[in-house]
Structure formats: structure tokens, C-alpha cells
Structure 1
């Protein structure tokens, strides 16, 4: 029984990785599930056993991307002990991860288009936005922030980061655009300090 669970987990992992590559390279609308199953060396029935349809497979891929980006945010933020620097490092980590080739089309373009803004936002709220809110709550609890609504501030910063990532991804000089964005974010965040 254990071997079957391991085989199933490996099959799912392989399908997700191959599908992610296809969604990254072709975009959601141009991905054909036949290509995914052929490349994975499984039957169409095996794919449908784990994922109801193309949208179900894409949702699992998007959730994986969202989780990886959240892990990156945590990893970057953990590089400092200062709560404000953690916030800035986490913001930078989010933007850098979101604009990576492997993530940007899935996360920023096809994700909202395929599932709609509400579903996409719900996923974001469970991952990166949750971390942003937790960091702002920590700063507020320590008394290091102006008396502002953490909820409103979370949505304000999250929206700014998402829009900035979209903008940076379209720029020819992404390094400069990222630095310009981080300068603006740093300036805005300093306005919230006590």
C-alpha cells in the first residue's frame, strides 16, 4: 500500500511539473492535455483520476506557484531581525519571485484570467497576503506603526506589489525597474513608522 501512495505522489508531482512548464511556455489557452499526458508517460485516465479537467490541473499548478512564492517571502524576510526590514525583504522577495519566468504568466496573467479576480485573491490571501498581514500585525503589536487599519494596509500593499510585479515583468530593464519599485515601497513604508 505504501508503494502505491509513493507512486501516486510521484505521478502527481510529475504531472504538475510538466504542466507547469507547458503553462509557462504556452499559456493556459494553448496547453493541450494530450501533450501533458504524453510527456508524463501516463494515460489520460490517470490525469483525470487526479485532476478533474484542465482547469483543475491549472489550479493545482497555480496553488503550487502561490505556495512557493510565499515560502520565498518567508525565506527573504527571515534574513533580518528588524521587523521593518523583514517587511521590505518580504516585499522584495514577493516581487522577485512573481516576475520569474517560471511564475509570472501563471501567477500574474493566466491565474486571474482563468479563475477570476475573487478566486485568485482568495489564493493570494492564503499565501503571500497572509504573510504580509501577519508582519503588519507584528509591527502594530510592537507599537512601531502609526494607528492605521492593518486590514486596509495589507490590501493596499498587496495590490501595490501585484501591480508593480506586472509592470516590472513588462520592462526591458527589470533590474532598474525593481530598484525603482523598491525605492518607492521603502519610502511608502517609512511613512507608516512611528
Structure 2
């Protein structure tokens, strides 16, 4: 293992308050045998991203150690190659995902909410509420309540907007929080083409 990777592992052990690499692997949502890959191939970007997400929320170390000893910890899907557009729409067909430990959901009171997934936002149209580069937690749903912030696919572009159903009109108004970005309406045939992906339930600032 390279010296720089040893330092990263030591930093993780210090943060989690553990003394073994296997314990670090379990807390991050991997199997203990993953350390063999770390020894031979080094620490990957996905490992660093998981540590960044957990450490950014400053979870209590003791709680995390207790959770690491429980088998079958809850996991959620994280799509590392998907970017949700807070702008003019992004075509993105990549659906490869990783399963990550969901212990941090307790911070957002989402421990009992099902069908949660995590993606990253790209763009500034939802400023100041959602910043470029932030990670968001979505709840997969087939419908939304008026005024909720939703993620949806329209004509192979993925957006995040506040959605308002217009009374007595067969259309949905998609609102950008940033006044520099125009809002738009979905109506007519596009209503049938619109595919709801999920509802915003939490966001995580990227440091």
C-alpha cells in the first residue's frame, strides 16, 4: 500500500475511533475483505467520496461503531455518474449505482423512509436553496404534492425543480428558485412524456 493511502486509512480510523482497517471498511458499507483490494489497488475515489459524505455530517463516532457491528445495515443506492440538472436539463442515461451505508440518514430523520436514493446536483437554477455540487436524497415516488421539489425526466433530460399544478389548467409549472434561470410549464403531450423520478427529502453540502 502506498504511503498516501496509509495516511488516508489512518485518518479514517482516527475519525471513526477504530483501530482496524476492517472496521473502517464495514462503517463505509463495504465487506471486511475489501481491505485486500485497498492493499493491492489503493484507495479508490468512491471510497473517498463515501468518507467525505459521512464525515461532512460529523456523525457521533460511538454511534457509528455500534452501527458497524450490526449485520445487514440499511443501504441506499448512490448514482456516481448521474448529475441532476439545476439548469437547462442534462441528458444522462448512466444508471450504474453503488450501495452505500445509510446510517447518516438518521441525521435527517429519514431512517424509516423507504425507496431513498442519492445523486448529485449540477447547476445554479435552484440557488440559494440547492447549490451546485450538493448531494440530494430522493424518495422514489409515482406522484408529488403541490409545491414539492421534484426530480424528473423530460425528453431524456433530467431536471430538479419546484413543481406547481395550475388550478383548472392541465399543466405543471416548473419553478427555478434562481431568478436568473427561467421557469417553464409542462403541458400537452409533454405531460405524458414527463417521468417523475423522485421527491427531494434532504441535501448534503459538498465541502
Length-normalised TM-score, structure 2: 0.28
Decide which structure has greater helix share: 1
Bigger share in strand: 2
TM, length-normalised to structure 1: 0.29
